Structure 1
Amino acid sequence: MTASGGLLCYCRAGFEPELAAELTERAAYAGQSGHARADRGTGYVVFSASDSGAISRSLPWRELIFARQKLELVAELRALDPRDRVTPILDALRGQGGFGTLLVEHPDSDAGKPLAGLARSFGNALRPALRKAGILSPRDDESAPRLHVCFIDGDHAFVGVSRPRDSSPWPLGIPRLRMHADAPSRSALKLDEALLVLLDADERSRLLQADMRAADLGAAPGGWTWVLTRHGLRVTAIDNGPLRPQLLESGRVEHLRADGFAWRPPQPLDWMVCDMVEQPSRVAERMATWMREGWCRRTIFNLKLPMKKRWQETRTCLDLFAEQSQRPMTIRARQLFHDREEITVYASA
């Protein structure tokens, strides 16, 4: 067993260097020291630090962009004996307790996915042992800290802790969404996930109300427009391309064949969304114009990232957006599960 301090963060496989750079820069800005350990394609990053609690408080999960999940690291266990993996975990947790739930996981990577069966079966063996030792509550308690065991291989695992108010509520940090048969495109899942991850339940209730007005820039074939109409919004869909005919049958969609980068609304809107394929700096500038001019109250948009220096481009574009908006705003950004080479941004004036 290796006693550990710091964080274990899950991410999209291939974006480990971006997450490592983000954690390192944010920690330094917060006055915390540490170093990141990342291998491309693994789906996770370890950020080693002397005090797990202090570094976790300095890096709130909601502010992280490339982290799907954030855990305070308890131990790294190597050379686990397949005949008894339970005892080393109990030893690592000696003196600790009060955990409400147990999650046995694996990275969302090519190497991690074959471990799904082990994770399921081991969870069934570990859970009663933890309860007998008084480490895990007799019944699941979602309000208490969660205990995580993440298998990297059959003989290699991390033990970590997540705090309900400072972590993702979903296993692996991935909300499981199903593609609706009526959705015009799979891009609908991106906006569904954005609304679930970037807004809390109270915000969704207050900010997505029937007959609010929205614009969807670059709407065709209409996946994001469809999501908004399901929440009862009235949508002006801007695109020179065609929409799925059933969207227009709802009576809540007006399709204007126009350039999404040139069009402006005749009156302020509640929402503007945008998933156009364009240079991220150009998108950030146009979104800033919408906020600066008061054409919308809040927005969700995607920034398509380059193949290299993606953390630097992310930081540059978000700083550009904030500076050119010229008004106080709430800004949240995340690389979602349904994103690929992009991040999704929510902003509210």
Structure 2
Amino acid sequence: MSTAKPETALLAYCRPGFEPELAAELTARAGERDHWGHAATERNSGVVRYVCASAALLERQLAFDDLIFARQKLLGLVRLDGLDPKDRITPLLAALETTRETVAAASGGTLRFGDLVVEHSDADEGRELAGLARGFGNALRPALRKPGWLTDKPDARKPRLHVLVHSGTRMELALSRVEDSSPWPGGIPRLRQPPNAPSRSAAKLDEAIHTLLTDEERQTLLRDGLRAADLGAAPGGWTWVLVRAGLRVTAVDNGPLKDPVAGHPQVEHLRADGFRWQPARPLDWMVCDMVEQPRRVAERMAEWFREGWCRNAIFNLKLPMKKRWDETVMCLDLFRAQAGELKALRARQLYHDREEITVFARR
């Protein structure tokens, strides 16, 4: 027999294995706003819940762009257990009825969702549910439209309904506000590897540009004729992303570059140490993916801004195996304190990141 457990909670997805870091972040962010509760998760699940009495208000106060370890931010509504594989839709519709007040508050009183997302976690067990999620979504859409829970066409003015599939008998309902959440299912960007890239790391910078920069920033800050430096450039993946955006790049690395970056007319290769080299004149961009202690990288990146060597930067901070949230806070605080006045500072653990976070800074 299926059971529905209404539980309003801040629900967030993360890279599997980083649940403790996201739990620590949500706890800290909620505490700063006087929302006292507790974070609950299962190791390697890729999902964290922050349960508190004021979760709906917390979800509105805590901007998705301010979160570092979250791939997606949702308002959890109901957890359903013991679903009958022969009929999962009937108990789901019944469970939605128990959330009418919360949904009405999020949708301006209309009790309608503008879209449906049926998804699974990025954990190994979750990815095995991709077929079930796809098929269930196709069956659920018309069932939601009939009683008026779902609009006939996607409507970004209304919240999205998310169904998180944990197993064939366990699912979870949540909602997201389009303007303050990831647009991608599971919070994972569907981006292709830049063609002819000399390394897979190119996808990381491409994701950072699409995730950490606004549409306006992408149009104005990445265009033909701008100049950039890539510190620790070899074999050239990040340089290639900048070249394809029209920038002229100084690739700084003692190691060799690979085609098509090597010998490219927009690339100057300097065999030098990225921690020592500095430009002769200010640059529009500096990017850095060097493997080094995060505090040392944060200090070096701050020096570039303090000395006026660049206007914009994207760089990675490689995190230690323990106390990764503490190290993240310390490094970003250090960068802020030493970099001088900033117009923007955003950080995120990207899908293509591993034991690291990626940071965008703008003077």
Q: TM-score, normalised by structure 2?
A: 0.94
Matches for 1:39-118 after TM superposition, within 5 Å: 39-94=42-97, 95=100, 96=103, 97-118=111-132
Query: In the alignment, residue 262 of structure 1 is paired with which amino acid?
Result: R
CA–CA distance in structure 1, aligned partners of residues 61 and 290 of structure 2: 34
1:6 aligned to 2:44? no
| Structure 1 residue 162, shift from structure 2 partner | 0.7
Tell me whether 1:15 sits opposite 2:29 in the alignment.
no
- 1:104-143 alignment, distance < 5 Å: 104-143=118-157
2:281 is the counterpart of 1:270: no
Candidates 191, 194, 199, aligned match of 2:213? 199
Contact 1:37-1:47 within 8 A present in 2 as well:
yes
CA drift of 1:120 comes to: 0.7
8 Å contact from structure 1 (residues 289, 325) kept in 2: yes
Computed over aligned residues only, the root mean square deviation of the Cα atoms, in angstroms, reads 1.1
Task: After superposition, give the CA deviation of every residue in 1:264-295 in whole Å (9 maximum; x if it has no partner).
Answer: 00000000000000000000000000011110
1:295 and 2:309 aligned: yes
Q: Which amino acid is 1:155 matched to? A: T
Q: Are the aligned partners of 1:74 and 1:92 in contact in 2 as well (CA < 8 Å)?
A: no
Q: Is the 8 A contact 1:218 1:238 kept in 2?
A: yes
1: distance between equivalents of 2:300 and 2:266? 25
Q: Is 1:330 the counterpart of 2:333 in the alignment?
A: no
User: Is the partner of 2:211 in helix, strand or coil?
Assistant: helix
How many residues matched? 349
1:92-147 Cα offsets, whole Å, 9 max, x none, are: 22234221110101100011111111101111111101000100001122342111
Contact 2:45 2:123 in 1 (8 A): yes
Partner of 1:55, secondary structure, is: helix
- Is the 8 Å Cα contact of residues 147 and 159 (structure 1) preserved in structure 2? yes
In the TM superposition, what are the counterparts of 1:164-313 in structure 2 within 5 Å? 164-313=178-327
Distance, in Å, in 1 between the alignment partners of 2:342 and 2:220 is 20
Q: Using the alignment, how far apart are the partners of 2:319 and 2:271 within structure 1?
A: 27
TM-score (norm 1): 0.98
Letter in 1 for 2:13: Y
What is the rounded CA distance, in whole Å, between the counterparts of 1:165 and 1:5 in structure 2?
A: 20
SS in 1 for 2:164: strand
Question: In 1, are the aligned partners of 2:312 and 2:362 still within 8 Å (CA)?
Answer: yes
Cα 1:286–1:147, aligned 2, differ >3 Å: closer, same or farther?
Answer: same
Task: Give 2:239's aligned amino acid.
Answer: T
Distance 1:170 1:143 in 2: 17
Q: Which moved more, 1:333-342 or 1:152-161?
A: 152-161
Q: Which moved more, 1:226-235 or 1:78-87?
A: 78-87
Q: Larger deviation: 175-184 or 146-155?
A: 175-184
1:250 Cα deviation from its structure 2 partner: 2.9
Quote the Cα distance in structure 2 between the aligned partners of 1:4 and 1:109. 23
Q: Secondary structure at the match of 1:27?
A: helix
Deviations 1:22-59, CA, capped at 9 Å, x for gaps: 00011101111121001211011011122332111222
Counterpart residue identity of residue 324, structure 2: R
After superposing on structure 2, the runs of 4+ consecutive aligned residues of structure 1 that deviate more than 3 Å are none
Deviates more, 1:268-277 or 1:113-122: 113-122
Distance 1:59 1:38 in 2: 19
Q: In 1, Cα distance between the equivalents of 2:259 and 2:351? A: 28
Letter in 2 for 1:45: V
SS of 1:26's partner is: helix
CA contact (8 A) 1:145 1:163 kept: yes
Q: Which moved more, 1:76-85 or 1:283-292?
A: 76-85
Q: Percent identity?
A: 60
Aligned to 2:169: 155
Distance (whole Å) between structure 1 residues aligned to residue 83 and residue 225 of structure 2: 57
SS at match of 1:254: strand
Question: Are the equivalent residues in 1 in contact too, given 2:23–2:39 (CA < 8 A)?
Answer: yes
Q: Which residue of 2 aligns with 1:314?
A: 328
Taking the aligned partners of 2:125 and 2:58, their CA distance within structure 1 comes to 28
Q: Do 1:6 and 1:55's aligned partners in 2 also have CA atoms closer than 8 Å?
A: no
Q: Which runs of 5+ in 2 are unaligned?
A: 104-110
Does the aligned pair in 2 maintain the 1:27–1:58 contact within 8 Å? no
Task: Specify the code of the residue in structure 2 equivalent to 1:250.
Answer: H
1:188 CA displacement: 0.0
Q: CA deviation digits over 1:191-218, x for unaligned, max 9? A: 0000000011111001101110000000
Contact map agreement 2:21 2:69 (CA 8 A) in 1: yes
Maintained 8 Å contact 2:197/2:260: no
How far apart, in 2, do the equivalents of 1:249 and 1:211 lie? Answer: 18
